[in-house]
């Protein structure tokens, strides 16, 4: 039961070593702690065990919220609509989960009358920024406790041995399994691996590390043929033409995309990226379903989207990725970007046929009722534009001359200054 004189805090809780120590430490500091665990699709997580551990560590209670459907429909699909990718490679698997989690944490704080939220993010990473920026955007009065930036906490816990000693002292159960020599973040969208041995950018990793995908060496010799249907940029149907499986529910569709893409070794990357806090970081990611759906969506845009709309949408995509990565999901500029992207998708409806084979996503065709592609207009066998378009190839000569004017002017200037 909550004590009236004690301040109340909602702790983002995973059940792991760090957040279990933080939970007990907050209790010692005079807080009533409510643990919050978000189900965003972590692999094989025992949430009942997490709840029991939180209470045993001193939490008033542990709230577990199933956010998987919300995560897919309102966050992952939003990223896929604009083909979001950070620095040309990272599909934002961790970044896009944080606002989903933060929104629910703030909701619980309001419901429980808590003035504080707390997290176990380190002082060197992006997540501290994402959690706190999202929380403050949603509730200007909320306060955040970040123990890994607290001088007293850092002095007390200089490494894993100090954390384990604290657990022994306070009877906090510790996972008996050996600790991985890297850190893992899991959700429906991706699994990320970083830190530990991976901090050496030249160090490779073992195949056994991966959770969502197989190596191309172990992928099937037979291709998987699929159709993906989109309506206004959002995937609404996935059909496996090999075995007839059909998925239409958003969550089931995305989970099945993960399954078949992972089985065909799709979606792995190993990169060094630029964190918002100014530090370069090496991360290994597997994003099978996201890679598959993004490739399909980009292909469908090619047949449906106007050239100039596409050019502007690509700029918006870069902005979306930057804002999402840096923690500005609930910022007004992100509202502008997301609404603009939604408008750009109004004609992106159709079906893309794909072949999945040993790490490759191969397009085998696409159709759309809103196609801007016209076979007669594009044909090399028809001189003009066919019956529907008045296109005269000789007009291209004037088009080229007009577009070359500035090039000629610039060339003349260069020739003059080089004399």
Active-site amino acid positions: 18, 98, 127, 183
Q: What's the CA gap between 17 and 163, in Å, rounded?
A: 7
How many Å apart are CA 340 and CA 82, to the nearest integer?
10
Hunting for tokens 């529910």 — which residue is that?
249
Task: State how far the Cα of 23 lies from the Cα of 261, in Å rounded to an integer.
Answer: 38
> What is the arrangement of strands in the sheet containing 246-247, beginning at the earlier edge strand?
246-247, 234-240, 224-231, 350-357, 360-367
Detail the DSSP E strand segments found in 100-194.
116-118, 143-145, 183-186, 191-194
Taking Cα atoms as reference points, which of 84, 97, 100, 87 lies closest to residue 291?
A: 84
Structure tokens belonging to residue 244: 């007839």
Say which residue the tokens 């958003």 belong to: 250
CA 66 to chain CA centroid, Å, is 18
* Radius of gyration for the chain, computed over Cα atoms and rounded to the nearest angstrom: 26
Q: Residue 209, exposed/middle/buried by CB under 10 A (0-12, 13-18, 19+)?
A: middle
Q: Are the C-beta atoms of residues 195 and 50 closer than 8 Å to each other?
A: no
- Give the phi and the psi of residue 361 in degrees, each rounded to 5: -110, 110
Helix H or strand E segment including 352: strand 350-357
Tell me the C-alpha to C-alpha distance, in Å, between residue 208 and each of 3, 177, 201, 205, 303: 47, 16, 19, 9, 40
CA dihedral angle for residue 40, residue 42, residue 48, residue 49, rounded to 10 degrees:
-140
DSSP string, 92-116: -TTTTHHHHHHHHHHHHHHHHT-SE
Distances (CA, A) of 377 to 60, 300, 349, 390, 391: 69, 19, 21, 9, 8
């Amino acid at each position: 039961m909550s004590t009236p004189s004690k301040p109340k805090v909602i702790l983002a809780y995973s059940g792991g070593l760090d957040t279990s120590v933080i939970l007990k430490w907050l209790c010692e500091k005079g807080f009533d702690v409510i643990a919050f665990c978000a189900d965003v699709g972590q692999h094989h997580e025992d949430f009942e065990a997490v709840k029991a551990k939180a209470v045993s560590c001193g939490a008033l209670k542990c709230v577990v919220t199933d956010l998987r459907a919300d995560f897919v429909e309102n966050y992952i699909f939003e990223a896929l609509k604009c083909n979001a990718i950070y620095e040309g490679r990272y599909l934002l698997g961790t970044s896009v989960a944080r606002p989903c989690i933060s929104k629910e944490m703030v909701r619980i704080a309001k419901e429980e009358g808590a003035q504080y939220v707390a997290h176990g993010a380190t002082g060197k990473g992006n997540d501290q920024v994402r959690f706190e920026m999202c929380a403050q955007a949603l509730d200007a009065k909320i306060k955040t406790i970040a123990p890994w930036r607290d001088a007293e906490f850092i002095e007390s816990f200089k490494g894993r041995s100090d954390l384990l000693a604290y657990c022994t002292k306070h009877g906090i159960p510790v996972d008996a399994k050996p600790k991985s020599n890297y850190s893992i973040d899991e959700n429906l969208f991706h699994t990320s691996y970083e830190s530990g041995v991976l901090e050496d950018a030249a160090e490779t990793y073992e195949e056994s590390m991966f959770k969502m995908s197989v190596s191309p060496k172990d992928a099937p010799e037979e291709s998987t043929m699929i159709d993906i249907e989109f309506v206004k940029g959002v995937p609404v149907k996935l059909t496996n033409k090999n075995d007839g499986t059909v998925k239409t529910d958003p969550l089931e569709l995305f989970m099945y995309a993960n399954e078949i893409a992972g089985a065909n070794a799709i979606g792995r990357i190993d990169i060094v990226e630029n964190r918002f806090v100014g530090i370069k970081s090496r991360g290994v990611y597997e994003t099978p379903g996201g890679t598959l759906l993004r490739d399909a969506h980009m292909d469908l845009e090619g047949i449906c989207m106007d050239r100039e709309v596409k050019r502007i949408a690509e700029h918006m995509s870069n902005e979306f990725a930057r804002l999402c990565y840096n923690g500005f999901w609930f910022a007004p500029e992100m509202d502008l970007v997301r609404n603009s992207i939604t408008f750009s998708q109004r004609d992106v409806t159709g079906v893309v046929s794909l072949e999945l084979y040993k790490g490759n996503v191969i397009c085998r065709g696409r159709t759309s009722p809103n196609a801007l592609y016209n076979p007669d207009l594009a044909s090399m066998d028809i001189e003009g534009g066919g019956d529907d378009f008045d296109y005269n190839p000789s007009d291209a000569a004037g088009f080229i001359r007009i577009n070359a004017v500035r090039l000629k002017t610039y060339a003349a200037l260069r020739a003059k200054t080089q004399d």
